[in-house]
Amino acid sequence: MKKKVIAIIVVLGVMIYSNISTCNLIYAQSAMINVSARHCTNLDGKWQIIIDPAGAGDWRQVWKERKPEKKTDFFEYSFEGGPSFNVPGDFNSQMTELKYYEGTIWYKKSFDYNSEKNKRIFLHFGAVNYLADVYLNGNLLGKHEGGFTPFQFEITNSVHNGGNTIVVRVNNQRLKDGIPGLGYDWFNYGGITRDVNLVETDNSFISDYFIQLKKHSLSEVLGWIKLNGPQTRQNVEIKIPELKIDFKTKSDDSGLAEVKFSSGFELWSPEKPKLYKVIFQCETDTIVDNIGFRSIEVKGPKILLNGKPVFLKGINIHEENPFRAARAFSESDASILLSWAKELGCNMVRLAHYPHNENMIRLAEKMGIMVWDEIPVYQQIEFSMPGVSDKMDLMMREMVDRDKNRCGVIVWSLSNETSPSPARDKALVNLTDKCRHLDSTRLITSVINDEKYSNNAVNVWDTLYRHFDIISLNEYMGWYVPWQGRPGDVKWSFVCKDKPIVISEFGGEALYGNNKGPKDEAASWSEEYQEQIFKDQVEMLKTVPDLCGTFPWLLVDYRSSGRMHPLYQNGWNRKGLLSDHGDKKKAWYIMKAYYESTKNSY
């Protein structure tokens, strides 16, 4: 029975592509996991580009780079003689004229390849924002929608010995039925924003695996390995040399092998972020990963890490390198942001409001920082539009597929600040159920901000919370909502009892170095006003029953084209505890002191 359930879970990740592709054209395949551990040819670097603001380019002409044959011939496009952009990287930060550009850019990369017999070749993209049409040697490989998750195409029968050309049409224009939709409070960085690799495998290879502690257990692993290829029935092994584990099993006709073993693990935690070298082997493939083991669950109003209550000292982070005002993608980018989080005293980061690059996830795990992983179902999502639920489902699965073996990820978050409606409730309840079936080992939440304020009381009324493990709410008392009494006297009521409470956003804006004007007026945009908000919030937090974590909004000022005040914002959301140059605002020290005084567990 367990094997049937596991098989259903694995197959569901493929079914969604089939369902969508019947409505559109050829869609991308589910990406294999742990690409960095495989035989890769990296295609990063300079790619030629054509800027196509009218969307007029015809791929059948663009990729050929036709040359004039007669004196009267001419063509109104060319990669030759045009600019080149770095991949990975957003196009908005690589040319001044494209700073606010939303539209089509064509990318071209030529490469040589010499194929071997009995090898399969995949073209793997870490992420492209937002729509990607991918062509190889003049043929459409397929499409992908979504700016923050990986996808791939098998090109075994399409790649040539010798020279090859990839052309990618990228479009980051906002869509009413997109995810996110038309309006969101971060910068719409477009382009091929993460690594591109050619991945070479044997005919039959290990495409996927899931190895984490069974729910409610500190010693038992329950998972699976999935083989892809003609040789589905194989002997399969998992080795953890440090623990002298050598687990042997066999895959079935579908290529699926159930994994179940126990050991005395040194459990991963923020204090001791232990990772083990894990070797996955079958008769035709070997993959190595570094994996930690930990338990995360809720018991009544408490969050338990490895069976002990834990307080989440969090911070919100956008995927942006502030020094470059560009999309973050590298391990060095991740190190800048996560080092600031550690300095603040955090044991967790909320990666808002979309799955961040894999460098961020893996480095956080190594540094002992828990991770909140989120898909961009944000505010103005049109839940009732045809196809939107399928897109939500796909993005959730792509996030879970990529990060399910990262023990540092303890929360799957499925939405942020969505407006109540029957269509929203139905879509998010269904998505929550599907996510829980895919991975029951983590906590699931959605963030809501529709609580009611009256007479210094807060009524958290939304019944959607009943479906989540954590009540996660955004509140901006002192900024968007004025204090109605003393912060230490706020009264709370919750529609759900006996659940952990997390304040997932709070704060206010201030321009670093601005110490002018009235200190008690929001219009001053002063550091002192922001500082007072955080002082009041610290007092207010004492009134929240069953509080299990806090996540200030946010670590660093970030770009947002909707923030238009010419003096204080100028295209930046100024709610950071740090400026866009990494300068500490006065509010930083309030939050740092709060975390220093708050125990990791309670």
389-399 pLDDT, tens digit per residue, is 999 999 999 99
CATH 2.60.120.260 domain locations along the chain: 9-201
Q: Rounded to the nearest 5 degrees, what angle is found at the Cα of 449, between the Cα atoms of 297 and 549?
A: 35
Stretch 33-43: mean pLDDT: 96
Question: Which fold, 9-201?
Answer: Jelly Rolls (2.60.120)
pLDDT of residue 61: 65
Band of pLDDT at residue 75, cut at 50, 70 and 90 = confident
Q: Residues 329, 357: contact at Cβ < 8 Å?
A: yes
Stretch 455-479: mean pLDDT: 97
Q: Which residues contact 40 (CB under 8 A, 6 or more apart)?
A: 124, 197, 198, 199, 200
CATH 2.60.40.10 domain locations along the chain: 214-293
The total of other beta-carbon atoms located within 10 Å of residue 361's CB is: 21
Residue tagged 């996955």 (tokens) = 280
pLDDT of residue 27: 85
Edge-to-edge strands, sheet with 296-299: 296-299, 302-305, 308-309
Please say if the pLDDT value at position 20 is more than 80. no
Residue in 525, 306, 278, 391 with CA at minimum distance from that of residue 17:
391
pLDDT of residue 8: 40
| 214 vs 155: CA distance, rounded Å | 37
Model confidence, pTM:
0.93
Please say if the pLDDT value at position 508 is more than 70. yes
pLDDT of residue 539: 98
Residue in 541, 529, 577, 533 with CA at minimum distance from that of residue 556:
577
Determine the CATH number of domain 214-293.
2.60.40.10
Flag the least confident range among 12-26, 103-117, 235-249, 319-333: 12-26
Band of pLDDT at residue 73, cut at 50, 70 and 90 = confident
Its CATH architecture, for the domain 298-597, is Alpha-Beta Barrel (3.20)
Flag the least confident range among 519-528, 535-544, 585-594: 519-528
pLDDT of residue 65: 62
Band of pLDDT at residue 69, cut at 50, 70 and 90 = confident
In terms of DSSP bridges, do strands 452-454 and 326-327 run parallel, antiparallel, or are they unpaired? unpaired
* Average pLDDT along the chain: 93
| 361 vs 369: CA distance, rounded Å | 9
C-alpha 83, offset from chain centre: 30
- Which is it for the CA torsion 265, 268, 273, 278, positive or negative? positive
What tens digit of pLDDT does each residue of 543-559 get? 999 999 999 999 999 99
Q: Which residues contact 415 (CB under 8 A, 6 or more apart)?
A: 375, 377, 378, 381, 428, 446, 447
* Rounded CA Rg of the chain: 25
Please say if the pLDDT value at position 95 is more than 60. yes
C-alpha 567, offset from chain centre: 32
In terms of DSSP bridges, do strands 443-448 and 409-416 run parallel, antiparallel, or are they unpaired? parallel
pLDDT of residue 116: 77
Band of pLDDT at residue 58, cut at 50, 70 and 90 = confident
Cite the beta strand spans of 485-555 per DSSP E. 491-494, 501-505, 547-550
Q: What percent of the chain has pLDDT over 90?
A: 86
pLDDT of residue 223: 97
Three-state secondary structure string covering 400-432: HHHHCCCCCEEEEEEEECCCCCHHHHHHHHHHH
Q: Which residues contact 197 (CB under 8 A, 6 or more apart)?
A: 35, 40, 41, 42, 43, 123, 124
Band of pLDDT at residue 490, cut at 50, 70 and 90 = very high
Band of pLDDT at residue 600, cut at 50, 70 and 90 = confident
Return the structure tokens found at 511. Answer: 């321009």
Q: Rounded to the nearest 5 degrees, what angle is found at the Cα of 554, between the Cα atoms of 534 and 377?
A: 125
pLDDT of residue 18: 33
